[in-house]
């Protein structure tokens, strides 16, 4: 097994071990270091937020047992004054241009009204413009750091505003897609159609590692399920260079996400791994948002 970590992370961990007062303190630190850095979870890599295995609406204690579907949301928590996760945060979207960005992500008005309804998930109890720090099942994230059983995810900085107006199609690591889960466990779009939320925070946001599925590590050899275009850049609109026959084996070296599509770089160009369906034998248990 090859363990890949940054020099800063390794130095910080080794200094902690060096400053331990006894062997009884050293051994747990070494065990923690090995467990953290030999894990399948690595900083700088891509992950998907796992979907509900059992819809929460059918579990005891769900407040509205007559609901046929519900937002598939999971908390993104902040660290409290004592160094422990203390719950979600609130983001005031009326500042720094986030309200305009949110409106541009969700035209027409019926989508905006649905998204900002207190019952839709991200504006629980308080309502617009106080967005709760939540994430929806199936969306992709990048891990910044790992501590114990939790991971900090990369977000846009609140004070910077939406400088380049990212969309889900252009950057699904910074704009997430709203997902809804039904009583049968099907993940579907909300009734008004596609709705999107900026992944923004004032403080570092954390999620349980158990809620994340890693993308398969690279490089990786895959085999096409169908005739597949190799393109100049990731994206269906990019210039096709040539076509791979069904059953062709290629090595992929890098991922690129365009909305729910997953693209991979080969030595000759880019191929789609997932575009509404899997196009090679590459697989993840967690499907992207529909």
Per-residue pLDDT tens digits for 114-151: 999 887 889 988 899 999 999 999 999 999 999 888 99
In a domain, 74, yes or no: yes
15 & 144 share domain: no
In a domain, 181, yes or no: yes
Which distant-in-sequence residues (6+ apart) come within 8 Å of 80 by Cβ? 86
79 & 199 share domain: yes
50 & 192 share domain: yes
Tokens of 217: 């590590």
Query: Which of 188, 214, 240 is a domain's end point?
Result: 214
Smallest Cα–Cα separation from 101: which of 157, 158, 155, 162? 162
What was the pLDDT predicted at 164? 92
174 & 262 share domain: no
Which distant-in-sequence residues (6+ apart) come within 8 Å of 97 by Cβ? 161, 162
Which distant-in-sequence residues (6+ apart) come within 8 Å of 118 by Cβ? 124, 125, 126, 127
52 & 182 share domain: yes
What was the pLDDT predicted at 3? 37
Under 8 Å between Cβ of 155 and 166: no
135 & 266 share domain: no
Smallest Cα–Cα separation from 158: which of 80, 78, 85? 78
Number of domains observed in the structure of the chain: 3
In a domain, 284, yes or no: no
What was the pLDDT predicted at 82? 84
Q: Are strands 73-75 and 69-71 parallel, antiparallel or unpaired?
A: unpaired
In a domain, 279, yes or no: no
173 & 128 share domain: yes
Alpha carbon 106 to its chain centroid, in Å, reads: 20
In a domain, 207, yes or no: yes
206 & 269 share domain: no
Smallest Cα–Cα separation from 253: which of 270, 239, 241, 237? 270
What was the pLDDT predicted at 5? 43
176 & 232 share domain: no
In a domain, 99, yes or no: yes
Residues of the chain with pLDDT under 50: 1-7, 37-38
60 & 180 share domain: yes
What was the pLDDT predicted at 68? 85
What was the pLDDT predicted at 54? 76
97 & 235 share domain: no
pTM of the model: 0.84
What was the pLDDT predicted at 81? 86
Domain that holds residue 103: 46-214
What was the pLDDT predicted at 106? 95
What was the pLDDT predicted at 6? 47
Torsion angle of alpha carbons 13, 14, 19, 21, nearest 10°? 90
172 & 148 share domain: yes
């Amino acid at each position: 097994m090859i363990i890949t970590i940054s020099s800063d992370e390794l130095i910080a961990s080794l200094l902690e071990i060096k400053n331990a007062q006894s062997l009884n303190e050293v051994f747990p630190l070494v065990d923690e270091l090995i467990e953290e850095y030999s894990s399948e979870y690595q900083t700088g890599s891509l992950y998907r937020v796992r979907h509900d295995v059992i819809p929460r609406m059918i579990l005891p204690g769900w407040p509205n047992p007559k609901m046929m579907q519900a937002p598939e949301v999971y908390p993104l928590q902040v660290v409290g004054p004592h160094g422990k996760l203390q719950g979600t945060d609130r983001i005031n979207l009326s500042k720094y241009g986030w309200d305009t960005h949110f409106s541009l992500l969700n035209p027409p008005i019926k989508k905006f009204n649905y998204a900002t309804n207190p019952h839709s998930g991200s504006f629980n109890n308080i309502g617009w413009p106080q967005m709760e720090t939540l994430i929806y099942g199936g969306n992709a994230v990048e891990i910044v750091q790992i501590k114990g059983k939790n991971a900090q995810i990369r977000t846009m900085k609140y004070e910077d505003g939406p400088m380049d107006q990212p969309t889900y199609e252009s950057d699904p690591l910074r704009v997430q897609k709203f997902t809804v889960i039904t009583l049968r466990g099907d993940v579907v779009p909300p009734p008004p159609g596609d709705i999107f939320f900026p992944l923004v925070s004032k403080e570092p946001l954390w999620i349980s590692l158990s809620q994340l599925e890693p993308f398969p590590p690279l490089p990786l050899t895959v085999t096409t399920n169908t005739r597949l275009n190799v393109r100049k850049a990731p994206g269906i609109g990019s210039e096709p260079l040539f076509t791979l026959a069904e059953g062709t084996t290629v090595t992929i070296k890098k991922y690129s996400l365009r909305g729910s599509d997953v693209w991979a770089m080969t030595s000759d160009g880019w191929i789609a791994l997932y575009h509404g369906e899997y196009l090679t034998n590459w697989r993840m248990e967690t499907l992207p948002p529909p």
